[in-house]
Amino acid sequence: MPDRYLRFTQSGPGRFVTRRLGLPQPAPLHRWSAERPVLDGPLLHLTASRSTVEPAAVLARAGLPVHTSRQAGARYAAVVVDATGAGDVAALREVYDGLHPVLRSLTDDARLVVLGSAPDPTDHHQAAAQQALEGFVRSLGKEVGRGRTAHLLRLAPASAGAAESTLRFLLSPRSAYVSGQVIGVAAADDVPVPGDWDRPLDGRTALVTGAARGIGAAVAETLARYGARLVCLDVPQAEADARAVAERLGGQALTLDITAPDAGERIAAALPDGLDVLVHNAGITRDRRLANMAADRWDSVLDVNLASVLRTTDHLLAAGTLRRGTGRVIATASIAGIAGNTGQTNYAASKAGIIGLVRSLAPRAAEEYGVTVNAVAPGFIETRMTAAVPLFIREAGRRMNSLGQGGLPVDVAETIAWLASPASGGVNGQVVRVCGQSLLGA
């Protein structure tokens, strides 16, 4: 269903009325397209304190002209402040001094990225300064408006190369609906550099569950655009839609019940040459308040959304189906699993369980199998399901985020594609919210 309020605020009367009444004034977002693949303007690279990562070479390849000092009259599409060496409160003033003068010189849809380090448990001054950057960035994302976003990227020493894929994503239109996130990137050995950054999944095989429609279909389409060979998995009841998606993308359809005990074995048998990207997108809702929730509603949601993810991931890792080095597991959580939601104790439990899975399995999967494990946590995404939500609840879902609007399936898909890239090997154990920086659970 179209967002008529967003359209209204772009008209003269709409701007006048919403300004006078103090109502949200969301801006249309610059999402990736072949016609506008990059942001409109230069990137300003600043350093606060000292750098432990030296990102200049990576930023020079990000696709934007780079300035290292403010230039009169310039309007910046991105600002990157390197605060990786910030170890005390005085260094925070340098972050302020760098960003404060340029905030009025940003283009619409500008990207603000602060580079930080992990808080050091042995140095409470450094830990305080680095944790302070998180509160700073989350607040900044809620202030800047006009489709602009802000992030904190925590880098390990000498990890600029491993962060290139992440910086390219955050500094591009592909991350339009991702804001206020804290993302860690570890130093990673032998991170492959794609021959073509527009097609980093060339030669890779990706399987997407729940691929017949909605977000799953958008994920499949985006991964195919990135060069992946697609396997579109869905239940037998959706076979016609799954086959239509697969045929359109030059992939194959695989129909099975993901909750079946032998689902992992059947997936492995269908992929004798191995799998690079496993996207757990399939999910259901069976909403009721707990007092009115029948046991079958609880069981079905937990089985589809969580137990099947655990079973199939365990099997595909143990069977060696996921390729060492390029293997990527990306699961779908939800902001409901972070903030909770009335009438969704079953759904929120299943999605919080996904977060627990990622945090526990990621380090072991990397060490034992050479595979990364991450999750996306969507907020209000414009789908057929949310179009059926009552009007006032739907409007609240759209407006209660820093960008003042709902996201699109492609926003989730672009985030998954970044995590799926072979060049994202330093990103592991992360839960990235695709919610426009929701004001709930932030």
CA separation for the pair 395, 380 (Å, rounded) = 10
Distances (CA, A) of 332 to 70, 112, 283, 314: 40, 26, 8, 16
Tokens at 166, concatenated: 């992440």
Let me know if 76 is a catalytic residue: no
| Three-class secondary structure of residue 45 per DSSP | strand
HEC sequence for 150-193? EEEEEECCCCCCCCHHHHHHHCCHHHCCCCCEEEEECCCCCCCC
Geometric angle at alpha carbon 159, from 138 and 151, rounded to 5°: 15
Of 76, 177, 226, 347, which one is the catalytic site residue? 347
Structural contact between residues 337 and 344, judged by C-beta atoms closer than 8 angstroms? no
Residue with tokens 């021959």: 195
Tokens at 276, concatenated: 């690079």
Q: How many CB atoms lie within 10 A of CB 6?
A: 20
Question: Which of 15-47 are b and which e, b meaning 16 or more Cβ less than 10 Å from the residue's Cβ?
Answer: eeebeeeeebebbbbbbbeeeeeebebbbbbbb
Question: Cα-Cα-Cα-Cα dihedral of 419, 423, 425, 427, to 10°?
Answer: -50
Tokens at 257, concatenated: 């019940």
CA separation for the pair 220, 208 (Å, rounded) = 7
Q: What is the set of active-site residues?
A: 347
